[in-house]
């Protein structure tokens, strides 16, 4: 095996978009090597087609196979599938308790609490971490918050590996569990809001005569540049906005149009509704 930052084998139960984003980001950063990764899903053909370009060969429809091979296991299924998955995992852990007792589970299921995970998996709290990442992790600029029940009893080395993985893929914060649903509405769902804005900004350029491909590139670069300016300068977005808006200029007229459309209120409403939906999933 080639050198990797994390030496543990890592499993993904569920091979969908979020699992793929995490794994591909970790591979690009060199935190993991492909041979360390085990992933399971219900459709093996689709799983292999998607994951084999990453070099991942340990693909299966058997969740137990992932559990028995990996020491850090990400649960990346839909919340409604959780009871079936946890039932399978409990049976597997009972069959091979000695091999699985030190496994660390990391759930990325929206709205599913640590208390429910602990109950469904029949595990001690120190074996479970609840996390909310977002898909830009696949390009190394994600956002993740995570919580655990008991910070004193969790195996430090494996927990530190999880923190290392999330930190390698962007911003990562350990937070009280009560904040995770709000962060879901903000950062977990946020990329979708931004993609809509990029699309709308490009459409506006096309309407004014800019070629489609160029408009999309300019819109995406503009959003990326503005975000980096906020992060690098530490200035409040309102201050940076004022620096662009000259008296009677084009920008302030555009900002006025956004205010007329209640853009800020609409975005705030989107975060609120997504947060409430995450709470409902609990």
Distance CA 72, CA 77 (A): 16
- CATH number of the structural domain spanning residue 208: 1.10.3730.10
Give the residue from 120, 154, 175 where a domain finishes.
Answer: 175
- The answer to whether residue 5 sits within a structural domain is no
> Are both 16 and 156 inside the same structural domain?
yes
| Backbone Cα Rg of the chain | 21
> Are both 150 and 66 inside the same structural domain?
yes
Q: How far, CA to CA in Å, does 178 sit from each of 109, 110, 185, 194, 279?
A: 15, 13, 13, 25, 10
> Are both 23 and 132 inside the same structural domain?
yes
Give tens-digit pLDDT for 61-103. 999 999 999 999 999 998 888 889 988 888 888 887 777 778 8
- The answer to whether residue 256 sits within a structural domain is yes
Give the residue from 143, 175, 207 where a domain finishes.
Answer: 175
Is the dihedral angle over the CA atoms 21, 135, 69, 5 positive or is it negative? positive
Question: Among the listed ranges 121-135, 157-171, 268-282, which one has the minimum average pLDDT value?
Answer: 121-135
Give tens-digit pLDDT for 16-30. 999 999 999 999 999
Tell me the mean pLDDT in the region 125-140.
87
Distance CA 34, CA 122 (A): 30
Distance CA 129, CA 150 (A): 10
SS3 of the chain: the string is: CCCCCCCCCEEEECCCHHHHHHHHHHHHHCCCCHHHEEEECCCHHHHHHHHHHHCCCEEECCHHHHHHHCCEEEECCCHHHHHHHHHHHHHHHHHCHHHHCCCEEEECCCCCCHHHHHHHHCCCHHHEEEEECCHHHHHCCEEEEEEECCCCCCCHHHHHHHHHHHHHCEEEEECCHHHHHHHHHHHHCHHHHHHHHHHHHHHHHHHCCCCHHHHHHHHHHHHHHHHHHHHHHCCCHHHHHHHHCCCCCHHHHHHHHHHHCCHHHHHHHHHHHHHHHHHHHC
Per the annotation, binding residues are 13-18, 63
Per the annotation, binding residues for NADP(+) are 13-18
pLDDT for res 1: 43
Residue-averaged pLDDT of the chain:
91
Question: Quick one: what percent of the chain has pLDDT higher than 70?
Answer: 95
Strands lying side by side in the sheet with 37-40 = 58-60, 37-40, 10-13, 72-75, 104-107, 128-132, 142-148, 170-174
Tell me the mean pLDDT in the region 192-199.
98
**Contact, 131 vs 110, CB < 8 A?**
no
> Are both 56 and 170 inside the same structural domain?
yes
Q: Taking 90 as the threshold, does the pLDDT of residue 247 lie above it?
A: yes
- CATH number of the structural domain spanning residue 128: 3.40.50.720
Q: Residue 193 belongs to what domain range?
A: 184-281
Q: Taking 70 as the threshold, does the pLDDT of residue 249 lie above it?
A: yes
> Are both 148 and 56 inside the same structural domain?
yes
Give the residue from 142, 175, 208 where a domain finishes.
Answer: 175
The number of domains in the chain is 2
Tell me the mean pLDDT in the region 117-129.
79
Q: What's the pTM?
A: 0.86
Distance CA 131, CA 114 (A): 10
> Are both 67 and 125 inside the same structural domain?
yes
- The answer to whether residue 108 sits within a structural domain is yes
Per the annotation, binding residues for NADPH are 63
């Amino acid at each position: 095996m080639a050198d990797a930052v994390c030496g543990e084998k890592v499993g993904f139960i569920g091979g969908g978009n979020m699992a793929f984003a995490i794994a591909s980001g970790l591979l690009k950063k060199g935190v993991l090597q492909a041979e360390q990764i085990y992933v399971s899903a219900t459709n093996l053909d689709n799983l292999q087609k998607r994951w084999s370009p990453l070099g991942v060969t340990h693909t299966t429809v058997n969740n137990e196979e992932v559990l028995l091979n990996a020491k850090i296991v990400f649960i990346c299924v839909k919340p409604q599938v959780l009871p079936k998955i946890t039932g399978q995992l409990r049976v597997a852990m009972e069959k091979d308790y000695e091999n699985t007792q030190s496994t660390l589970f990391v759930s990325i299921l929206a709205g599913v609490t640590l208390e429910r995970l602990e109950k469904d998996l029949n595990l001690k709290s120190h074996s479970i971490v609840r996390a909310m990442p977002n898909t830009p992790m696949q390009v190394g600029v994600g956002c993740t918050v995570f919580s655990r029940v008991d910070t004193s009893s969790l195996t430090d080395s494996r927990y530190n590996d999880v923190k290392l993985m999330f930190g390698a893929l962007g911003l990562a914060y350990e937070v009280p569990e009560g904040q995770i649903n709000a962060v879901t509405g903000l950062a977990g769902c946020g990329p979708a809001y931004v993609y809509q804005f990029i699309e709308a900004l490009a459409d506006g350029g096309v309407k004014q005569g800019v070629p489609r491909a160029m408009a999309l590139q300019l819109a995406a670069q503009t959003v990326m540049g503005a975000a980096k300016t906020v992060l690098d300068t530490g200035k409040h977005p309102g201050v940076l906005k004022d620096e662009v808006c000259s008296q009677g200029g084009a920008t302030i007229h555009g900002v006025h149009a956004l205010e007329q459309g209640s853009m800020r209120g609409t975005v705030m409403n989107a975060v609120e509704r997504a947060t409430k939906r995450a709470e409902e999933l609990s």
